[in-house]
Amino acid sequence: MKDKRRPFRRLAALIAGIGLLSIVAVCIVKFMPTSERMNVLVYFGMTGEQEEPSFGVPGEQVAAVVVEDHIVQERALIQDGNAYLDYTVVQRELNSRFHWDDSVGLMLFTTADQVFEIAPNSTMYTVDGESFDAGYEIIKTTSAGMFLSVNFMQKYSDLKCTVYDAPTRLVITRGSQDITTAVVKKNSAVRYQGGIKSPILTDVVAGVQVTVLEQMENWSQIVTEDGFIGYIKNSRLKDVEKTVRETYYQESEYTSIRLEGRVNLVWHQINYPEMNAQLEDDISAVTGVNVISPTWYFLSDSTGEILSFADASYVERAHARGLQVWALISNFSEDVSTTTLLSSRAARQKVQNYLVNQALTLGFDGINIDFEGIAQEAGYDYVQFMRELSILCRKNHIILSVDVPVPMDFSRHYNRAELGKVCDYVIVMGYDEHYAGSDIVGSVASMNFEITGIENMLTEVPKEKLISGIPFYSRLWYTETLSDGTASVTSEAVSMERAEQLLAENGVTSTYDESTGQQYAEWTSSDGRFCQIWLEDENSVAQRAALVSQYELGGIAAWVLGNEKDSVWEAITGQIG
């Protein structure tokens, strides 16, 4: 008897087979790596530029630029076999010691003991008055900007720069870097992103070494030697290890002068020449201090003229009492545009030569630079000023120190890491957490402010060069309710003794404020103003001085002589040794 269900069974089997094939096909599509390749011109951002050079230089070639782990926006120029890098990239990322000085139309390059002067569109450069021929143009100026020879830059930078083709690109790596490396097990594809469906950037062969940027669960982000930044499966890597990349360049040594033991400095405010005669009286109760810094010099205009209250006999008398003298120069005059002064090489040199000559003539031991409120656009010129001054100080055995604000995003342009290299000491001004003119009431320097400032400085400045600046003053805050209901906030700086007098006059007893590490007091004055003060005293000073030993710093500095109680000196020496 014929089975009438057989055709239906065949149809069902056929449908099942088709379904199985569909599932297999879907799985193949899902799990099969794509062979799609990314357009490398698009990847390096070079689309269209190869066909239409943008620099306007005969025989030029445009190149992409890869710096370590990223592709920069700017392009390199290649002409006659020489590569030139956009000066913006050099200054921003590679070697800020190449400094274009518009006031003289020269590129300056500063080492520990020399300043190179390089004219644009020339093969010549000058060092200490002697001219040299590089054999190629060092600086090229084009319609697209200024470009620096890669050959010349490599001679004086811890960098390796290599040109690759297809597309033309300049790959730059830094020497002396902590990196992670790995060896590729077998021929593999490097993909644009992690995942088998991401397009292929390039291929690597078995045995080649790559730099590992980040390891994830199944994929690693890597950089190939020829500048491709992409992803490869972890299973394709072996011998993953942390190492230090070799040094490409040995820079000249930035020697520094060190005091025996820690610096214990106090600033001595000199407001007019006759105040120099008060030295003995002002330091009569001082113990433990080994450096005094008189505020002798003031920038008086934007060309480098200086007002001086300096006194040779002051130096002799201080030395007779075992004190070094580090003369301070400030920029607090309203007649001075520090930005204008720093941008002029003539003005910079005028100030530098004057200060060094004063040190040699009067016999003081060091120079303390207290330029505050540096505008962001003046940051490069400010650091260049310090580089140039450091050469003169180094050659003449003069200690160079600089005062800088606590690290904040808005003060990044002070380039504390570079200052920590070129200066003998860097003093972090750990005060003015709340300052005159502010409508926010608070401590001049809470413990958290001090600690955070020190810890952030130590990420950029060697501990043995870092000096912690502390205040000897408090700020008395007045809050007054105006007729319109708004609050008016004013303040004044007061010495330790004056603060104690104010509490006694108003019958107030202070209490300890855990949040600031200081004694705190408040009261209402006879005229109805609400008064608040966070007190600096021997206890707050001792806590701050203890941080010097805790963080193994180079020393401590106090602003300002005359605002302290006699008991603070023992508090300091008892903590810093």
Query: For residue 419, what are the CA distances in angstroms to 31, 112, 388, 393, 422?
Result: 55, 12, 12, 14, 5
Query: For residue 122, what are the CA distances in angstroms to 135, 198, 422, 482, 534?
Result: 9, 47, 29, 67, 61
Among left, alpha and beta (phi > 0; psi -120 to 50; other), residue 532 is beta
Q: Tens-digit pLDDT profile for the chain (577 aa)? A: 556 566 666 666 666 666 655 554 445 445 589 999 999 999 999 875 444 446 878 888 999 999 999 999 999 999 999 999 999 999 999 999 999 999 999 999 999 999 999 999 999 999 999 999 999 999 999 999 999 999 999 999 999 999 999 999 999 999 999 999 999 999 999 999 999 999 999 999 999 999 999 999 999 999 999 999 999 999 999 999 999 999 999 988 999 999 999 999 999 999 999 999 999 999 999 999 999 999 999 999 999 999 999 999 999 999 999 999 999 999 999 999 999 999 999 999 999 999 999 999 999 999 999 999 999 999 999 999 999 999 999 999 999 999 999 999 999 999 999 999 999 999 999 999 999 999 999 999 999 999 999 999 999 999 999 999 999 999 999 999 999 999 999 999 999 999 999 999 999 999 999 999 999 999 999 999 999 999 999 999 999 999 999 999 999 999 999 999 999 999 999 999 7
- Asked if 98 and 89 count as a contact pair (C-beta separation under 8 A), the reply is no
Rounded distance, CA 331 to CA 73, Å?
37
pLDDT tens sequence across 266-283: 999 999 999 999 999 999
- Asked if 82 and 162 count as a contact pair (C-beta separation under 8 A), the reply is no
- Asked if 254 and 112 count as a contact pair (C-beta separation under 8 A), the reply is yes
pLDDT tens sequence across 145-187: 999 999 999 999 999 999 999 999 999 999 999 999 999 999 9
Rounded distance, CA 444 to CA 401, Å?
23
DSSP 479-509: EEE-TTS-EEEEEEEEEHHHHHHHHHHTT--
